[in-house]
């Protein structure tokens, strides 16, 4: 396993050596679908790749914040937050963040005898909208599990587990309706959730806890005016929408501190905060102790 750094604050990536990729190709289970490279680039500005000969594997890029572009077969397409695309193996291509912009992307290079099934029809930007059953965080957690598994080792069991997770991750995007319906409540309950503006707003915040959103983003989603919604939200939760969103970020950070060995800078980006000092102040104000002290206490 090789960890590669391209210079983006908070980035994480794993590149499997050719010997390990050969092992994946030869194994009866992983040969169907396997990872060769995987990474997460938060707020990556001036990011650009051009491969005039293409690659031997497919490339998936999922943009969750900011915007970018890619070129395939002389067609240049724009990519916005909430969209993904897959570049087929063997095709010249280029991609990058938009001029003057930074994008946050999850990316995977993958191959296998059945990998083309996930690639077909995804050369144009595919939209993943936020909805009451969108499960965006669930999908991101699957990605994190792949990345963590391969970071811990590249033995055959690691590779097989990562392969199984990759099936789930790609299926969550290519078979979006089924992924969402798998945990959907009955229609009456779902309908009730849709017309509850506070519940819908909280769900929207949870789905975007890794990003930077504004009150206007939330208001647009629920279709309410600022004064009316803020009053209703405070009545239900006891705090303002911004304070609640920050609380969700701290709760997410606690999970990263509890369950991973990610450094503080990486955790900041995973909760949509670029400034580690601001993050430490927010965490300390909410929890009564610093992130470092919290992790030390939890681990005894």
Instruction: Classify 187-298 by CATH class.
Output: mainly alpha
Task: Considering only residues 295 and 170, tell me which one the structure prediction assigns the higher pLDDT.
Answer: 170
Average pLDDT, the chain: 90
Strand order in the sheet with 102-111: 12-15, 34-45, 102-111, 58-65, 83-87, 126-127
Average pLDDT value for residue range 166-187: 87
Which pLDDT score is estimated for 299?
A: 78
**What is the pTM (predicted TM-score) of this model?**
0.85
- Quote the tokens at residue 201: 């707003």
CA distance 10 to 253: 14
Residue 192 has pLDDT above 50, yes or no: no
Q: Where along the chain do its domains lie?
A: 12-181, 187-298
Backbone angles phi and psi of 282, in degrees to 5:
-60, -45
Per-residue pLDDT band for 191 (boundaries 50, 70, 90) equals very low
Residue 188 has pLDDT above 50, yes or no: no
Per-residue pLDDT band for 189 (boundaries 50, 70, 90) equals very low
Listed range (175-184, 187-196, 242-251) with the worst mean pLDDT: 187-196
Percent of the chain past pLDDT 90, that is, above it, reads 76
Which pLDDT score is estimated for 158?
A: 96
Average pLDDT value for residue range 87-93: 97
Instruction: Classify 12-181 by CATH class.
Output: mainly beta
Helix axes 241-259, 291-298, angle to 10 degrees: 40
Which pLDDT score is estimated for 261?
A: 86
Average pLDDT value for residue range 25-43: 96
Which pLDDT score is estimated for 7?
A: 65
Per-residue pLDDT band for 195 (boundaries 50, 70, 90) equals low
* Contact criterion met (CB below 8 Å) for 36 and 110: yes
Average pLDDT value for residue range 210-215: 90
Q: Residue 213: how many CB atoms within 10 A of its CB?
A: 18
Residue 142 has pLDDT above 50, yes or no: yes
Which pLDDT score is estimated for 244?
A: 94
């Amino acid at each position: 396993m090789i960890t590669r750094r391209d210079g983006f604050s908070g980035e994480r990536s794993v590149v499997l050596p050719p010997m390990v990729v050969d092992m994946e190709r030869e194994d009866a289970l992983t040969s169907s679908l396997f990872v060769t490279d995987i990474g997460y680039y938060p707020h990556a500005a001036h990011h650009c790749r051009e491969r005039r000969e293409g690659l031997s594997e497919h490339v998936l890029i999922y943009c969750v914040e900011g915007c970018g572009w890619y070129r395939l077969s002389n067609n240049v397409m724009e990519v916005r937050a909430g969209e993904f695309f897959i570049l087929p193996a063997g095709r010249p291509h280029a991609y990058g963040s938009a001029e003057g912009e930074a994008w946050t992307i999850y990316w995977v290079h993958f191959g296998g005898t059945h990998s083309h099934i996930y690639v077909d029809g995804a050369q144009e930007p595919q939209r993943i909208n936020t909805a009451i059953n969108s499960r965006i965080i669930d999908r991101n957690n699957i990605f994190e599990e792949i990345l963590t598994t391969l970071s811990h080792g590249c033995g055959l069991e690691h590779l097989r587990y990562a392969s199984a997770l990759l099936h789930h991750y790609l299926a969550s995007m290519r078979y979006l309706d089924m992924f969402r319906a798998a945990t959907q409540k009955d229609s009456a309950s779902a309908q009730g959730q849709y017309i509850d503006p506070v519940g819908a707003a909280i769900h929207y915040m949870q789905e975007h806890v890794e990003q930077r959103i504004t009150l206007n983003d939330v208001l647009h989603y629920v279709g309410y005016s600022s004064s009316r919604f803020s009053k209703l939200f405070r009545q239900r939760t006891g705090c303002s929408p911004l304070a609640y969103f920050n609380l969700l970020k701290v709760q997410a950070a606690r999970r990263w501190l509890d369950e991973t060995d990610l450094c503080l800078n990486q955790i900041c980006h995973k909760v949509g905060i670029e400034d580690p000092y601001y993050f430490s102040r927010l965490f300390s104000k909410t929890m009564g102790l610093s992130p470092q002290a919290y992790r030390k206490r939890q681990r005894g």
